[in-house]
A and B are shown apart, each in its own frame.
Chain A
């Protein structure tokens, strides 16, 4: 069954992206513009003793922390992330100053002539070293009553999982430009969250809000990498534009972007499952450790999502979770599609497989015995309020992939793996209610066109088209009567950041509801109406106790991966990929497929080949020739489907999608590799080199 709205339409940004006429920040002419380049720390941890700057030719400027009128911080959640290092540097690559001028070659010369003297300290480079000191973030919660004295436990099984860094590898590197037209500062660039940059500018400049305008330029991918980080470039270019009196542009080159921008958090998860005398899974504990890098950034929110996702899709109660994050002298880690989910589901789903193998049962049978149902408690003792169609999801996956036969009759060096997973749609905790308070507007004009005003950004995922479709269908007008441009803080209310798989479900829903009002007033020639997100009244959240509904709603998925293993080269070849999702109503089947295919391939890159390491605080893989992401030849066509399960609180029944497609594929891949090789794999990425080591260790 499908809805009419699922029928694909031509994307609003299709022509300009296909014919190449679209102009990204780096392509834009900036009359009288200057270029800004960041001079970065060469030490992982040191005191800055002295800075000797060269004498500057006319038209060149140096920007340091002294040029910041207000706070020298990037406000994310905690204010520990400086705009420029002042007295100390905390990672290799930390910005110390900018050199700004008309000629980039001259800028490079001036950078070479700028001498920073350091007094180095001993840096903390690994999680192991970091754990000598207390964590900077900590949380714990218990679902149900975890009392060791009353639990009837016969046996327990404990194991540890590890995952590494992942780079977002958006096609367009971080890019920003600023123009100062006193008293107004205007910032334009590649971004997911215009209002985050506005907040950062306000915090640094102490300008009044009406004198700060942030505009999204065409953005070549984000994947979370343009959630928090563009604030750094936003403030840097603004400071340079204000001081120089010229427009200023800053474009990171690929190596700079790979080396110093935020990545997915490396993680270590210990899981303990308790069994009773009937081999039932009666309780579970999780102990989670994250590497934050040098500053907090979004780590506490990632830590929360990871911790809340660790129950998986299983009702195994009681569940006790403790989680900590430690700082190391490496670039701050941050947002990346999935936001803790990929780490959690790699651990929990692999753990379920290992339990099934210990108990000698089919991995799917073990899962089926513990699936959550509508009305069950979430990890944080909220409620799964809406129909949970996991049995149907599993059935669809079984029939589509023939999983059981593949599993039972697996040939030598072939394997199949399954994963079941969920993703909380929207901000964690009461974020949607307390922090975001999303607002959108619709303007109706005399000619019968309607303009969408929301700060949600188009980052390649298709939100311009998706939201237009929702409005067009709700108003029953053709989509070409809907105007939807890239947002700015000057023209659009704050509909919240473009993150957390929230744009379609939450922003789309406010727009959908608002269309009712527009319809009623349709005969008026010209008007504008606004509305805010209505937080469902039956949701609650206690942020001190971490109790309640951590998310407004959940989307669900199942993946099956079939592989073969080459014992001569230790290479794994993916033969089949199947994916089924419950995302409610797909708003556009083609764009949904785009998200599925992209998310799965990005997740398989994480699972199988993307590796980033630091030596002495310096990143090794700092080019796309050494940080290897998948290409089209690596994986076969993905066979995917969606369930029909409209979500009553979503626009036309839609749930969140963007991140769900990435979070579950790594454990399915890992399980397939385990069956094909006969070894246990508790760490990502599963490179041929890692497999070789594991096979030698485990066959001893």
Chain B
């Protein structure tokens, strides 16, 4: 049963409520409602519910020379329609749910929900996204990579909310987001692979590789990236066993009712290899 419902009039109002009460935030609710609804039609929340999507201070996209800032309660479809949001991020967001889910669902919701299969997360990890968290005491910045630490678990404090996500404007020559689901639409990922990088003098440069839905949290594999940088694609492919070892030990794929660990790992490796191979065609 819903204990209480608080409809904040402003961001400050919301922050004050957060500082005083135990509150569950809703920013779209497309996942929360499905997870919580009972056969009775009721939802079991032992906290006060507070919707955020209507607050102007939490909506919109701003941009400067070096970065794009997306406010947390901006809907996924609004993000897709914004010219400043980088295409690699858009490609990931476009793969989420269905048109109606993307109308309601928000980027902040996808991040704070912290699902291993959150489809925006690998791309945001690849972009080194920075999160701005706010409470009545002020703001603090956290790297997305440090924010999600277990399935559904983040380092947000109970008095904080996610204000915005800042994405640096990267230059890139290659990028790819591959989402594998059991069907082509409305699917929850079995695995996803995000890669982005530059080519300098025919060598791989500033490559980023991140993975979703394989293990407990979406993960970026920085040691594999370091190994690849300043090498040609063919040199990387010639030493593929090193990459394979690195990915195998860090991805920790699981067996569950969506897929099996062996499939997840092999396809993640295959997709990574295919992405690296794309650096050979300059």
Contact = CB atoms under 8 A, between A and B. Distances in A.
Interface in B174-206: 178, 180, 182-188
B263 A692 contact: yes
A108 B40 CA distance: 8
A634 interface: yes
A689 B34 contact: no
A632 B271 contact: no
Given A568-B271, A626-B257, A687 B182 contact: yes
B188 A632 contact: no
Interface in B22-50: 34, 38-42
Contacts of B34: 625
A569 B183 contact: no
Contacts of A625: 34, 188
A687 B271 CA distance: 18
B267 interface: yes
A630 interface: yes
Contacts, number: 65
A692 B183 contact: no
Q: Which interface residue of B182, B187, B258, B262 has the most chain A CB atoms within 10 A?
A: B182
Interface in B135-192: 178, 180, 182-188
A256 interface: yes
B236 to A, nearest CB: 17
Contacts of A633: 183-185
A410 interface: no
A571 interface: yes
Interface residues of A, number: 31
Nearest to A612: B257
Contact of B182 (A255, A570, A628): A628
Contact of A631 (B1, B184, B257, B266): B184
A105 interface: yes
A253 B40 CA distance: 9
B270 A631 contact: no
A104 B263 contact: no
A228 B219 CA distance: 49
Contacts of B257: 613, 620-621, 626
B258 A634 contact: no
A688 interface: yes
A689 B260 contact: yes
B263 A609 contact: no
Contact of A628 (B42, B183, B263): B183
Interface string A675-695: 000000000000111001100
A253 B38 CA distance: 9
A470 B122 CA distance: 58
B274 interface: yes
A540 B267 CA distance: 57
A634 B183 contact: yes
B39 A571 contact: no
Contact of A568 (B38, B42, B260, B274): B274
Interface in A567-589: 567-571
A473 to B, nearest CB: 40
B186 A631 contact: yes
Instruction: Report the interface size class on chain B.
Output: 20 to 34
B259 interface: yes
Q: Which interface residue of B1, B183, B260 has the most chain A CB atoms within 10 A?
A: B183
Contact of B39 (A256, A620, A628, A689): A256
B263 A689 contact: yes
A260 to B, nearest CB: 12
B34 to A, nearest CB: 7
A625 B30 CA distance: 13
B146 to A, nearest CB: 29
A692 B266 contact: yes
B262 A692 contact: yes
Contact of B183 (A108, A620, A630): A630
Contact of A105 (B40, B178, B262, B271): B40
Nearest to A253: B39
Contacts of A629: 183
Given A105-B40, A256-B39, A626-B258, A688 B263 contact: yes
A95 to B, nearest CB: 15
Nearest to B191: A569
Interface string A412-447: 000000000000000000000000000000000000
Interface in B95-139: none
Contacts of B42: 104-105
Given A626-B257, A633-B185, A689-B259, A104 B267 contact: no
Q: Which interface residue of B40, B42, B259, B271 has the most chain A CB atoms within 10 A?
A: B40
Contact of A569 (B39, B187, B267): B267
A569 B182 CA distance: 11
Interface in B232-282: 257-260, 262-263, 266-267, 270-271, 274
Contacts of A571: 180
Contacts of A689: 259-260, 263
Interface in A246-287: 253, 255-256
Contacts of A692: 262-263, 266-267
A569 B260 contact: no
Given A569-B271, A571-B180, A689-B259, A631 B185 contact: yes
B182 to A, nearest CB: 4
A613 B41 CA distance: 27
A689 B263 CA distance: 6
Contacts of A632: 185
Nearest to B39: A253
A107 B178 CA distance: 46
Contact of B267 (A570, A609, A626): A570
A569 B270 contact: yes
Given A105-B1, A568-B274, A692-B262, A609 B182 contact: yes
Q: Which interface residue of B34, B178, B257 has the most chain A CB atoms within 10 A?
A: B257
Contacts of A628: 182-183, 187
Interface string B49-77: 00000000000000000000000000000
A571 B259 CA distance: 13
Nearest to B262: A692
A103 to B, nearest CB: 9
Contacts of B274: 568
Interface string A612-642: 0100000011000110111111100000000
Contacts of B180: 569, 571, 688
A694 to B, nearest CB: 12
A693 B266 CA distance: 11
B187 A104 contact: no
A304 B10 CA distance: 68
Given A568-B271, A570-B263, A692-B262, A631 B38 contact: no
30 contacts: A104-B40, A104-B41, A108-B39, A108-B40, A567-B270, A568-B267, A569-B180, A569-B267, A569-B271, A570-B267, A571-B180, A609-B182, A609-B183, A613-B257, A620-B257, A625-B34, A625-B188, A628-B182, A628-B183, A628-B187, A631-B183, A631-B185, A631-B186, A634-B183, A634-B185, A687-B182, A688-B180, A688-B263, A692-B266, A692-B267
List of 8 A-B pairs having minimum Cβ-Cβ separation, nearest first: A253-B39, A633-B184, A628-B182, A633-B185, A104-B40, A568-B270, A631-B185, A689-B263
Given A628-B183, A634-B183, A689-B259, 11 more contacts: A104-B40, A104-B42, A107-B40, A108-B39, A567-B270, A569-B270, A569-B271, A570-B267, A633-B184, A689-B263, A692-B266
Interface of B: 1, 34, 38-42, 178, 180, 182-188, 257-260, 262-263, 266-267, 270-271, 274
Interface of A: 37, 104-105, 107-108, 253, 255-256, 567-571, 609, 613, 620-621, 625-626, 628-634, 687-689, 692-693
